[in-house]
Amino acid sequence: MDEIIREENQNPPVVKKGEEVSERKLVEATQNGDKRAYGQLIRIHQKRLFRYIYGLLNSFDATEDIVQEAFVKAYDNIKTFRTEYAFYPWLSTIARNLAYNHIHREEKKESLDILQEKGYDPKAAELGPLENLLNHENNKRFYQAVLSLPVNFRSVFVLRHFEQMDYAQIASYLKIPPGTVDSRLYRARQLLMENLKDLIED
């Protein structure tokens, strides 16, 4: 990743000032070895990808690691990507799989009860891009509640409410029936309502 950034700073831009270029052209340029083009793809998608993975992990350190690893893995496999498709769904699938692997590793290290009791302390680290969202107690509690959801429910909830996907898109993305999306989303909302009952009643 550092090599890509250095290359981006040294080489002339893929897109000259005042010229627009499609994402497909950036991908094609990357497939032809242009690291600066990939640097532009990183800038386009890194914030959205960070929000998505943070919604799954609720850990800034882990999210940063996963996002960086996803971009590196995508770059290593970019020549296998079919440019007639959108780049972000492919990238986010790589990141999601890495996040799931991370979750499973953590669940082997610690019991689920301990994981649910752990909350992010906003004083312990810089909040970065989510500072405005997380610096209120209620929003911190909300993210803790999302983190406590079982992975299947959490994934559907994050895709629906953070990524703004509709049911058909979620079903296609996760390769599950739309009815399963609906039932998991309903159950996720029920669990969140139970966990945040004291805030809702206020």
Taking residues 162-171, report their average pLDDT: 86
Supply the pLDDT for residue 109: 55
Is pTM beyond 0.75? Reply is no
The DSSP secondary-structure symbol of 188 reads: H
Enter the tokens of residue 194: 């139970």
Supply the pLDDT for residue 126: 36
Supply the pLDDT for residue 1: 52
Average pLDDT, the chain: 76
Supply the pLDDT for residue 43: 93
In whole angstroms, give the CA distance from residue 149 to residue 37. 38
Cα-Cα-Cα-Cα torsion 177, 91, 69, 46, nearest 10 degrees, comes to: -120
pLDDT, tens digit, 9 for 90 and up, residues 72-90: 999 999 999 998 889 999 9
Q: Is 23 helix (H, G, I), strand (E, B) or coil?
A: helix
Pick from 115-129, 131-145, 152-166, 186-200 the range whose average pLDDT is largest: 152-166
The DSSP secondary-structure symbol of 41 reads: H
Which positions ≥6 away from 100 have C-beta within 8 Å?
Answer: 56, 151
- Residue 19: pLDDT band with limits 50, 70, 90: very low
Per-domain residue ranges for the chain?
1-109, 131-202
- List phi, psi (to 5°) of 111: -70, 155
In whole angstroms, give the CA distance from residue 81 to residue 74. 9
Higher pLDDT, 125 or 154: 154
Over 80: is that where the pLDDT of 96 sits?
Answer: yes
Give long-range contacts, CB 8 A cutoff, 24+ apart: 180-183: 181/156
In whole angstroms, give the CA distance from residue 39 to residue 72. 11
Supply the pLDDT for residue 164: 81
CATH numeric code, 131-202? 1.10.10.10
Higher pLDDT, 105 or 170: 170
Angle between helices 35-57 and 151-161 (to 10 degrees): 120
- List phi, psi (to 5°) of 132: -65, -30
1-109 classified as CATH 1.10.8.60: no
In whole angstroms, give the CA distance from residue 28 to residue 82. 10
